[in-house]
Amino acid sequence: MSKSLPVVELPVLQDAAQCCPPITAGALPVADSERMAALFKALSDPVRLRLFSRIASHPGGEACVCDIQDVGVSQPTVSHHLKKLREAGLLTSQRRGTWVYYRVEPAALAGMSQLLAVPS
């Protein structure tokens, strides 16, 4: 008999690239503000932001935790921050052998980028 898995509530980010128009274009609806505020919250810690930048800028767009963990905090703290970034939908992860590999979720980055776009 199959064991049922617990349902994990994650922000729906499939359409983050479509959400939202630039902040300068109109007032943000409530639902979008909740979704986007959660992404900014994940980036509101300097160590998390540095980890995110290390993954985003890693050759091939993917980083092993072993490549990025020298940010001056303990390994459990790195794991905690990576979990927060993953839970917010900013990163995806994959275990391969001994290591976990992280990638930036393109839709989440695109959504934030679009929201904060400066009118040209």
Binding site for a copy of itself (CB under 8 A): 23-28, 30, 33-34, 36-38, 40-41, 43-50, 52-54, 56-57, 72, 104, 106, 109-110, 112-113, 116-118
CA-based R_g, the chain, Å: 16
Distance CA 110, CA 32 (A): 14
Q: Which is nearer to a copy of itself, 33 or 77 (CB)?
A: 33
**CB 34, min distance to a copy of itself, A:** 5
Distance CA 28, CA 23 (A): 7
**CB 75, min distance to a copy of itself, A:** 18
